[in-house]
Amino acid sequence: MDIMAKKKRKTKKKSVVDSGVRNAGLLSDGCNPELVKDAEFDGIFEIPIIKKPKNLIIPDKLVPFSKIGKADIKTFAVCEYENDTEFSDLLAHPNEYVEILKQYEGFISPDCSIYRDMPLSLQITNIYRNRAIGYCFQKHGIYVIPCVRWGDDRTYTTKFLPEKIAFLGVEKHSIVSVGSYGQLKNRVNRYYFEAGMDSMMEELEPEVVLVYSKIPDEIKEKYLKTQFVEYEDWTSIVRKN
């Protein structure tokens, strides 16, 4: 009886995992390798490259992916500065959203969560997913702006790895987007945000930085050659209305 019970438990567990993998569409086929067909890759981790656009377009506003049905103004760019569950279907089935996203001014590559206490392998994975989805949509003719997100100092320095992995797959002297919402509320978060920002500016030398929420003036004043464009976060917009 004990042996049979163990077999049943194992079988049940396996079926749940298999179902979840199929539904997610992210792991069973190797994280959607077809997304990066014909892509160019950057660095030892082969992060897909989002190309610098010919013309730098600055969107009027940024709208979260989960709210695109409420934003009919097509001069908005779609972003994912929200809980990962809100755009999980986009990650799993990006091709289903190509025609929808073509209606908007642009698309910010997914802000897949990167936490400082994450294993480095997961931080790298989410950087890869960010660029892979961005490349996929760019290939379909959508104006894509790379979202740059870093985690602990292993992602934005060369103390542990030979490359600053947070910035791989993004071309220099272009336009990027960063999210500062919730990053400046305490001393530790602010330290890592500012350190990563300084490293990004040194590495990528962007012409334009879109900021979801705000950043302190003292940061902007260090980079006078760069145009910073701040956008009110969706939560604040909703509270006002």
pLDDT tens-place string over residues 31-41: 688 899 999 99
**Given pLDDT bands bounded at 50, 70 and 90, which one contains residue 29?**
low
What pLDDT score does 72 carry? 64
pLDDT of 21 above 90: no
Enter the tokens of residue 5: 């019970």
How many folded domains does the chain comprise? 1
Query: What burial class does residue 224 get, using C-beta atoms within 10 Å of its C-beta: 0-12 exposed, 13-18 middle, 19+ buried?
Result: exposed
pLDDT tens for each residue of 114-137: 999 999 999 999 999 999 999 999
What pLDDT score does 235 carry? 75
Does residue 179 sit within a domain? yes
Does residue 121 sit within a domain? yes
Does residue 21 sit within a domain? no
Domain that holds residue 181: 39-240
Does residue 172 sit within a domain? yes
**Given pLDDT bands bounded at 50, 70 and 90, which one contains residue 182?**
confident
Does residue 82 sit within a domain? yes
Nearest Cα residue to 177 out of 210, 206, 204: 210
What pLDDT score does 15 carry? 29
Nearest Cα residue to 135 out of 97, 168, 169: 169
Those residues with Cβ within 8 angstroms of residue 80's Cβ, 6 or more apart along the chain or in another chain: 64, 65, 86, 87, 90, 108, 110, 111, 112, 147
Does residue 17 sit within a domain? no
Does residue 29 sit within a domain? no
**Given pLDDT bands bounded at 50, 70 and 90, which one contains residue 8?**
very low
Please give the radius of gyration of the chain, using alpha carbons only, rounded to the nearest integer. 19
3-class SS shares of the chain: helix, strand, coil, % to 5: 45, 15, 40
Does residue 158 sit within a domain? yes
**Given pLDDT bands bounded at 50, 70 and 90, which one contains residue 71?**
low
pLDDT of 178 above 90: yes
Bridge partners (DSSP) of residue 47 are 42
